[in-house]
């Protein structure tokens, strides 16, 4: 199943590239992965579902990053909000100013995203929250890819620009998206739910979101200086 999931996710970008309608990109991304998650959940295998969706997120991140590295002007138009996010993050890398280094700004923003994502997942079994997650991943990937394209050290930049707190947040959202999709799916179609495993995963994801905030508050200023030195601006 893993090769099929990877292929479907990559294909979603190929189709999006030719259709060239930004609003369809996260929908295509979601359509590529959602059946794989549902099949795992219908087997009662939460861990498999989480693993598949983590692989989906990884494939999205790599695909969108490489697209933005090679064709930044195109992906700036293709990915929703991506260029605005790139401008914001480039300003932070260059000057250290911006929400990334200001807990008073990024904490309410991230908590708000978590609440919206969680509510959409519970209400729609992930149908609406997964596109939201796809938009966030594509925005981050565009920032990483375009930063690498303008860097003196592209490979190192591709690694460092995926801030460790961002990776933790992505993983936490993926886990919440999978686990919180199960209750509604179980009412719509026979879907066994291991409540004990679900509880453990939700706790792990919640802790991950707190760790994300703590690491960002502690490391963002240092990480900005490291990125600036690596990029060579």
* Distance from C-alpha of 9 to C-alpha of 57, rounded to nearest angstrom: 9
Average pLDDT over residues 131-151: 98
The Cα 38–Cα 125 span in angstroms is 10
What pLDDT band is residue 60 in, cutting at 50, 70 and 90? very high
Angstrom distance (rounded) from CA 203 to CA 165:
17
Cβ neighbours of residue 32 under 8 Å, at least 6 residues apart?
5, 8, 9, 11, 12, 56
Residue 204, both tokens? 């792990």
The predicted structure's pLDDT at residue 29: 98
Would you tell me how many other CB atoms lie within 10 Å of the CB of residue 7? 12
Residue 224 tokens, joined = 């900005």
DSSP, res 98:
S
Q: Is the pLDDT of residue 192 over 90?
A: no
On the question of pLDDT at 191 being above 90, the answer is no
Res 110: pLDDT: 95
Mean pLDDT of the chain, nearest integer: 96
Please give the average per-residue pLDDT across 213-225, as a whole number.
97
For the cut 90, the answer to whether the pLDDT of residue 207 exceeds it is yes
189 has pLDDT over 90: no
- Convert the pLDDT of each residue in 93-129 to its tens digit: 999 999 999 999 999 999 999 999 999 999 999 999 9
Domain edges within the chain:
2-231
What are 61-74's pLDDT values in tens digits?
999 999 999 999 99
């Amino acid at each position: 199943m893993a090769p099929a999931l990877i292929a479907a996710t990559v294909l979603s970008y190929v189709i999006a590239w030719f259709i060239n309608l930004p609003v369809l990109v996260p929908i295509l991304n979601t359509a590529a992965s959602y059946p794989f998650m549902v099949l795992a959940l219908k087997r009662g295998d939460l861990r498999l579902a989480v693993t598949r969706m983590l692989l989906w997120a990884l494939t999205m991140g790599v695909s969108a990053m490489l697209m933005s590295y090679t064709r930044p002007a195109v992906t700036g138009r293709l990915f929703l909000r991506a260029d605005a996010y790139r401008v914001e993050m480039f300003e932070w890398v260059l000057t250290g100013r911006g929400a990334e280094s200001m807990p008073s700004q990024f904490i309410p923003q991230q908590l708000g995203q978590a609440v919206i994502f969680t509510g959409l997942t519970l209400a729609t079994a992930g149908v609406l929250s997964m596109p939201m997650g796809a938009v966030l991943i594509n925005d981050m990937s565009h920032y990483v890819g375009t930063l690498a394209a303008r860097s003196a050290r592209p490979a190192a930049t591709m690694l460092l620009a995926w801030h460790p707190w961002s990776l933790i947040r992505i993983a936490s959202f993926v886990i919440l998206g999978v686990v919180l999709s199960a209750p509604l799916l179980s009412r719509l179609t026979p879907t066994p739910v291991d409540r004990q495993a679900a509880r453990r995963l939700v706790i792990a994801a919640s802790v991950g979101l707190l760790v994300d905030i703590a690491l960002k508050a502690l490391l963002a200023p240092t990480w900005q200086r490291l990125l600036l030195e690596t990029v060579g601006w």
